[in-house]
Structures are given as C-alpha cells and as structure tokens.
Amino acid sequence: MKHHVAMPLHPATALILWLFFAIWLNRAMPAGLLMSSVLLLMMLWMTGWGDFLRYLRRTRVLLLLIWSTGLFAHGMPEQGWSGLDWLPSSIACWRWIALLAALAVVMSSLSRIQLLVGVRGVLYPLRWLGMPVERVAVRLWLTLEYADQLLLSTQDWRQRLHGMMQADDDVQETAGQLVLPAYRFSASDIICMLVGGWFAAGI
C-alpha cells in the first residue's frame, strides 16, 4: 500500500525545474550566469560537492573539446588570439559546468527512490500515448544502480557492458515488486513550475 510523504517539492518538480534551467542557461547573459553560479555554489555547499566533482571528472574531456572547439571557431592560431577570442568558448564551458552543478544539487537532494518517482511523474502524461511509464522509470533506476556498482568494480569494459545489459532482464521483475511512495503535487510545485517556465520561455 502506498503512503504519502511530506516534502517541500514533488521529485518531478525538481527534475522539471532542472530542465527549465537548462533551457534558460542556453541564452543566459554573463550577469545571469554569475548570479546563478553564486546561488549554485551556496546550494552545493549545503548539499555536498561529491556528485559535482564526480560529474566534472567524468566530463573533463568533453569540457576540453567544448572549449577548444569554440576557441578555434573564433580565431586561428596563425592569426593570433585576442582576449575576446577566449570569451565565447569560456562562457560555453561555464554554462556546461553550471548545468552539471544544478544536476548535482538535484541528485544530491533526491534519494534513488525519489528520483524514480520523479521520472515517473515527468513521463506520466505520456501514458496517454501508450508509453509504459513505470517500466521506463524502473529501467532508468536499475541502470543507475548497475552503473554505480560497476564504476566501483575492477571489471574490464566487457564485463561492465554485460552487467549493464542485465538491467533489462531485471526490469519486469523489479517493476512488479517495487512499491513507490506517493507524493502529492502542492501549490508550491505549481508556483515553482510556473516561475521556471516563465524564465525558460524568456517572457
């Protein structure tokens, strides 16, 4: 039997706000980036830096590619680079780091079960189109579980890939056994999503 849990925001609201932030971040000016970065630093201070540092470590090559690609797009080595040529690629990396920081805040604030509830809530409208929402949410949850375990293991990449594929075999069984807590959407959720949508839309 499901039970209701009292919390400030529904887990799905947290995920939707992160998506809105990603949309807003794509066109944010440096002043907005600076303000959001200060806020994210404060939130990371409260939730912990572990996830954020892990995300940075895993995406360091991508960050380098973003920075170098942007740099070569705005200047050529034989022509020399000015200070302004470094700015677009640096801001692109800044946006990416801010997005990772926001994701780290969300992931640090939600338990794995709450994340599963959030994904189910975000995908719930797609049930009307025939999508097996519970199955998709459980698949994601199991994949994350396997990923965490395998990243800490000493197996080679073939064994890791085989272990990740085992998640598909466990989806149906876990979906039938897992009992999720029921979270209610509140007025705070509606207000936060309206404000987030307003910023994302640039109104």
What is the domain partition of the chain in residue ranges? 11-201
Helical packing angle, 86-109 and 60-74, nearest 10°: 150
CB-count exposure of residue 105 (10 Å: 0-12, 13-18, 19+): buried
What average pLDDT does range 175-194 have in this prediction?
79
Q: What single-letter DSSP state applies at residue 179?
A: -
Prediction pTM value: 0.76
| Model pLDDT, residue 6 | 43
Residue 99 CB partners (closer than 8 Å, separation 6+): 21, 22, 25
For the ranges 2-11, 110-119, 155-164, 185-194, the lowest mean pLDDT is seen at 155-164
Q: Alpha helix (H) ranges present in the chain?
A: 11-25, 30-47, 50-58, 60-74, 86-109, 112-123, 133-151, 157-177, 187-201
Q: Three-state SS for 4?
A: strand
User: Residues of the chain with pLDDT > 70: what percent?
Assistant: 67
What's the rounded Cα separation, in Å, for the pair 162 and 160?
Answer: 5
Tens of pLDDT, residue by residue over 108-167, are 888 888 888 888 888 888 788 877 777 777 777 676 666 565 555 545 545 555 555 555
What's the rounded Cα separation, in Å, for the pair 190 and 156?
Answer: 46
What's the rounded Cα separation, in Å, for the pair 143 and 125?
Answer: 23
Torsion of Cα atoms, 19 then 164 then 179 then 113, to 10°: -40
What's the rounded Cα separation, in Å, for the pair 133 and 171?
Answer: 12
